[in-house]
Amino acid sequence: MIPGREVQSVALAAIALLAAGALPYYGSDYLLSLGITIAMFTVLSTSWALFSGPTHYISLATAAFFGLGTYTTGLGFESLPFWSLICLAGVLGAALAALVGLATLRLSGVYFVIFTLGLAELIRQVITWGQNMTGQKGLYVLTDFSEADLFQMLVALAALVFLAGWLIGRSRLGFALRIVGEDETVAAHSGINTAQVKVLLFMVSGAVAAMTGAILAPRYVYIEPSLAFTPLLSFQVVIMALLGGVHRLWGPTVGVIPFTLILEAISASFPNQVTLFIGIVFLIIVYLLPRGFAGLLEQLRDWSGKREALS
Amino acid sequence: MSQTVLSLQGATKRFGGLVAVNGIDFDVRQGQVLGLIGPNGSGKSTVLNLISGALGLTAGEISLRGAVISGQRADKIARRGIARTFQLVRLLPGMNVEQNIIAGAVFGHRRRWGASARQEAIRLAKRVGLDGKGPMAVGQLTYIDTKRVELARALASDPKLLLLDEWLAGLNPTELQVGIALIQSLREEGRTIVLVEHVMDAIRSLCDRCVVMSSGDKIAEGTPDAVLSDPEVIRAYLGDADA
């Protein structure tokens, strides 16, 4: 049985996604371009939070998966249909996540963070080296896709991620992951194969990031390792997810939208202060918003509920 | 004679040069309550950790109903039917009482999910004395209630063997009587239990048999009255009398 409140949330999410998906029909080119960035970070942050939210394992590998996806498209768009490249990127992302997971998830949090950051750099260096050997610097990705096409694909992917997140949240797997995040020892002694649960969710997260990269490759037209594997992307995803709140499926989205809009305004007027802005947001999260906007909203709701009860 | 549930043969654990558990043997039969006693640092909790798979054996063998379980991961051992509580209570702080209990029902020896897991959690909450406290945050509970949640979580998988690590420690005299009665009622239900305990009243009233450990060795085994009057056991607890 699905409770009424959840039906309401699902219906609301469906309407929001449909409205977003129709943006190309009513929005300007500028709005569409902004929409692509928002859709991209919504997908990346939400899928990041599926794994890192409950487990508290901060992954900085998003750029590695994303870059893997862009290169999948970059190398294959001339010989394979685009949809198959998106699927292939998902499979490759999941496989990479499985490898990383098996190697690192037995380690405690801090080592995991450093490893994932290092991984993205490692792959970037390997591809740079590979390209140097072949005398190339980057890849041209010339396709017929318009911005509207890419945007709608991203919105569809976002719908898939929300659906997956909702289903996982209701499943034994999701419950197991929450227990693992709360106390791994208790989880193991309750019969949960903790490594397997973590690797599975990390694979979902990695697959989605790689698919996002595959969809976005045509937008960049020309891709090179420093762009596809930029560590800034990994940090942005973490900060947006934390800003929104990782304990709710919709949390990251409410972080992504204001962050992207403000970042956009700052990079237009003060292009050199972008990293300063990211740093300030990070401090705000740590000191003022430990549970993100989602936590703040819930706090306000509880507070107003109590006031009503008193009056 | 009833079936052997748990069997330890030459169970040994070394941490570097320190022998924490030195070739321990004992059996636990169906429906028995076995007390593992001894002074602090004698290796009791280590034995419990070896049985539950939190630690791996250096040598020897542990089997559950005839099947070797030593060398397996903790989660596998839990699924085969061993549930435990912890010396320092470990609850899931982000979940309420009911969810904490459900956590024990979903992945262990007997698996339930959805409404059936919830019903079982409600039944167990009542069983251990937490009736109506299901929706409470675990941070708001009294100490004995946190112990009750942990016990209910362990019972939720309907284990073949229950391990209680100083479940009665830290309770005040009134709570202690309640706690002893609760474990007594589990015994009457026919549960097979291994408990590590310091409270002598509890050991006398709850245990069918005791294994006494000192510095990693088993120094005595028998009924509570027999082992507690054993001169070697008294010496291990109190030291040699000054001549």
| B163: nearest CA partner in chain A | A189
Contact predicate B28/B194, CB 8 Å: yes
The residues, any chain, with a CB within 8 Å of residue B62's CB and separated by 6 or more, are B6, B7, B8, B9, B11, B50, B51, B68, B69, B70
Q: Which candidate, B42, B13, B9, B43, places its Cα nearest to that of B26?
A: B9
Tell if the CB–CB gap between B157 and A191 is shorter than 8 Å: yes
Asked if this assembly's ipTM is beyond 0.85, the reply is yes
SS3 B24: strand
CA distance B92 to chain A (A): 6
- What's the confidence (pLDDT) of residue A311? 64
Torsion angle (degrees, nearest 10) of CA A68, A74, A80, A86: 40
Q: What is the pLDDT of residues B5-44, one digit of tens each?
A: 999 999 999 999 899 999 999 999 999 999 999 888 899 9
- What's the confidence (pLDDT) of residue A264? 87
Kindly state the average pLDDT of the residues B72-92. Answer: 95
Instruction: Tell me, yes or no, if A188 comes closer than 8 A to chain B by beta carbon.
Output: yes
| pLDDT bracket for residue B178 (50, 70, 90) | very high
| pLDDT bracket for residue B191 (50, 70, 90) | very high
- What's the confidence (pLDDT) of residue B243? 41
DSSP assigned state of B108: S
- What's the confidence (pLDDT) of residue A298? 86
- What's the confidence (pLDDT) of residue A144? 86
Q: pLDDT per position in chain A (311 positions), as tens?
A: 566 777 888 888 888 888 888 888 888 889 999 999 999 999 999 999 999 999 888 999 999 999 999 999 999 999 999 999 999 999 999 999 999 888 876 666 688 888 888 888 898 898 888 888 887 778 888 888 899 999 999 999 999 999 999 999 999 999 999 999 999 999 999 999 999 999 999 999 999 999 999 999 999 989 988 888 988 899 999 999 999 998 889 889 999 999 999 888 888 888 888 888 888 888 888 888 888 888 888 888 888 877 777 66
- Cα(B188)–Cα(A130) distance, integer angstroms: 71
Instruction: Tell me, yes or no, if B81 comes closer than 8 A to chain A by beta carbon.
Output: no
Instruction: Tell me, yes or no, if B54 comes closer than 8 A to chain A by beta carbon.
Output: yes
DSSP assigned state of B96: B
Best mutation target among B45, B50, B92 (most A Cβ atoms within 10 Å) is: B92
DSSP assigned state of A107: S
Best mutation target among A189, A192, A193, A196 (most B Cβ atoms within 10 Å) is: A189
Total number of residues shown for chain B: 243
Number of neighbouring beta carbons within 10 Å of residue B210? 27
